[in-house]
Structure formats: C-alpha cells, structure tokens
Amino acid sequence: MPWIREVTKSANLEYNYTDEGLGEKCFKTNNVTGICLPLESCPMIFKNIKDIKKHSAIDQCGFEGNNMLVCCTKQDMLKGPDTEARFRDIVHEIENCEMLYDEFRRTPDEHQLHSQVAIIDGHDSTNCSATLITARYLLTSAQCVFGLDIKKSAVWLGLGNDIENVVQRNEIHSIVPHPKFSSKSHHYNVAVIKLRYPVLIHTSSIPACLWREKAKVPTDMSAVSVQGHEQSPTAVETSALYYSDCRRLYNPELIPSEMCVQYQAQQKCEPREQEELCRQPGSGLFSNLYYGDDMKPVTYIVGIYNNGYQCDKGGPALYTRVSEYFEWIKSVVYLDSQTGE
C-alpha cells in the first residue's frame, strides 16, 4: 500500500531494529515478548501507524521481501472492540490451560487416557497425528499436512477410550504452517489446524497445555501416536538427549528448536514394530505434571515428531520443540480466533 511506504519513511518515526525473521520471537524495547509479523498482520500497530503521534517508535524485525516486519505483542493482536470477547477467551484458554478442565482430568490411580491425541484421516494420503491444544485448534507437524486435501480429510478425537460413543469426528477448517517451512527441510516443521467445529471437552477429549520452558524439558516423557481412527493410541517411554551430545554423536546440523529423543522400548522391538515406531508424523511428545491435593494430571505437549532420523538404526528420532514456537503458535491462534468463522 503506497501510504504505508510514505508513513514508514517519515522522519518522525524511530525504528528499533532487531535481526529476527518472519514468525520468530522478538523483544520490544520494554522487554515485552512478541512475534515478528508483517505490518498489516499486526492489527493494533497497523491501525495506529497513520497517527505519528501515537507511534514515535516502531519495533521493527526487518523485512520479508518488500514487507516490513514488526514485533507484534499479544496486546497488539486485538483487532478491535467487536472481537475483544473472543480474543480474551482464547488468551485465557491458552495461557491458563493448567487451571481449566479440572472436572475432566483423571487422578493418578485411574487409567490415563490419551485424551489430547487426534488423528488426521487424509483418506487417499497417509494418516498422521495431531494434538488438541484448545477446543478448536490442533498442533501438528507441517509435513503432516503438506499437500493435504482439506475437503477429503477428517479429524478423529477421543480414541483413547473403549466407550464407542465418546469418539468425535470433526473436519478441518483451515491450516497454517510455519511461514518458513519448506518441504525440502525439516526445520520450522510445525503447523496449526483450525477445526470446523469446537470439540466437546470431556474425559476423553481434553486439550494439552503448551510447554513453555526453553531451558529444560521434563524428565519423564512419552511419545504417543495412533495408526488409524479405528485403533487406540500407543505410548512409548522416551528420554531426551542433551543438545550438545546429539550434535556431537548423531546430528551436527541440529538447531536449538529441535531435540533428539531416544525411545526406551526400541531395543525390544521387532523390525516391523521398529519401523512403525520410527515413522509417526505429527505425533506428540508428552509429559504429565500433577497439581492440587487430588493430584490431577495436566498433560503438556513438549515436542512434535519431526522425522525418524537415525531411529530405525537404534539412534534417536528428531522432534520439534514446542517451547521454541510458543509465541508463533499463540499469534496464529489469537489472530485467527477473531475472524468469527
């Protein structure tokens, strides 16, 4: 838009430049975190930029082609008064996940259902897994949904329970892969799926919370996947390798947004079982933490299956770290939830 170029060239504007890319985490001058988005995708900054008095400084991330990127915070993502209620609700659902759905969580003495697991049935394409993170959004790998025909696909939830009437079938409304994902690389291998309808939350379908800690991962984790919507999810205990060890021993191209995960049951696998274990597109890496006097478990999604890497040779599989994409995931959900569709 011509007027944007005129305004952004104004001598009255000050740019606080950081060398971050599209979809990456950024920090504003007041140390508030945000995500680097195109100017027109950040509602409050885009709305107010014409008024120079309101914006004496713009926290700029750089450029993506000819498009200026700005550091867009949670507060900047509100589109207007008419969407404020929806915006407030989705922020609460993501950022207070641990405090929600308590009446549906099981105690440690009961069988733990894999209530966060969903399967994407692509019919003509390969099935893959996803994780429920709110009543209407799923998290998966970008490779899982690459080339997926939405109109021919279905989503199944509640598969971890033997009671037939708790299984839910849904449809895909839209898919947002990370803007830097390429099918030729395993980097930025993450995508957010919007369901056609909100899921009915109950004991067999409860969203997982997003793991936010970048500096550490839980000690006890399990990789959960499902082969088809007529089968129950399976879980395998895992352990994460230290970043430096994985780079030294297995993958010198490993980046901080990825981690190596060893399946503890690998040595006992038959060749066919090992092949299935090492090919779980979109499946999640989960950990349970327990809260309250009754020790209700809260399930966190820590990683998303990226690729088998050296898994079929007895080495680790590669997972995408959710904490590295926490800000981007929030930005997709917060902005999309205000569309009203």
Say what the pLDDT of residue 231 is.
Answer: 62
Q: Give the CATH number, domain containing residue 33.
A: 3.30.1640
Separation CA 221–CA 53 (nearest Å):
51
Residues 307, 181, single domain; the answer is yes
The CA–CA distances, whole Å, from 122 to 156, 157, 209, 223 equal 11, 15, 26, 22
| H-only helix segments in the chain | 2-8, 43-48, 84-95, 142-145, 243-249, 271-277, 326-336
Residues 191, 258, single domain; the answer is yes
Q: Nearest CA to 210 among 332, 318, 120, 122?
A: 332
Residues 259, 223, single domain; the answer is yes
Report the domain count for the chain.
2
Residue 109 CB burial class (10 angstroms; 0-12, 13-18, ≥19): exposed
Say what the pLDDT of residue 281 is.
Answer: 65
Strands 172-177 and 14-17: unpaired
Task: Identify whether 39 is part of a domain.
Answer: yes
Residues 165, 55, single domain; the answer is no
Residues 229, 312, single domain; the answer is yes
- Residue-wise over 33-47: b if at least 16 C-beta within 10 A, else e? ebbbbbbebbbbbbe
Q: Nearest CA to 303 among 321, 327, 330, 279?
A: 321
Task: Identify whether 87 is part of a domain.
Answer: no
Asked if 119 and 159 count as a contact pair (C-beta separation under 8 A), the reply is: yes
Task: Identify whether 316 is part of a domain.
Answer: yes
Q: Give the CATH number, domain containing residue 207.
A: 2.40.10.10
Residues 170, 66, single domain; the answer is no
Task: Identify whether 83 is part of a domain.
Answer: no
Residues 10, 116, single domain; the answer is no
Say what the pLDDT of residue 149 is.
Answer: 87
Asked if 286 and 300 count as a contact pair (C-beta separation under 8 A), the reply is: yes
Residues of the chain with pLDDT under 70: 1-20, 50-57, 107-113, 123-126, 160-165, 225-232, 265-281, 308-310, 312
Separation CA 21–CA 189 (nearest Å):
16
Residues 60, 186, single domain; the answer is no
* Final residue before a domain boundary, out of 77, 109, 131: 77
Structural domain that includes position 205: 95-337
Residues 210, 317, single domain; the answer is yes
Residues 123, 53, single domain; the answer is no
Say what the pLDDT of residue 232 is.
Answer: 67
Asked if 182 and 203 count as a contact pair (C-beta separation under 8 A), the reply is: no
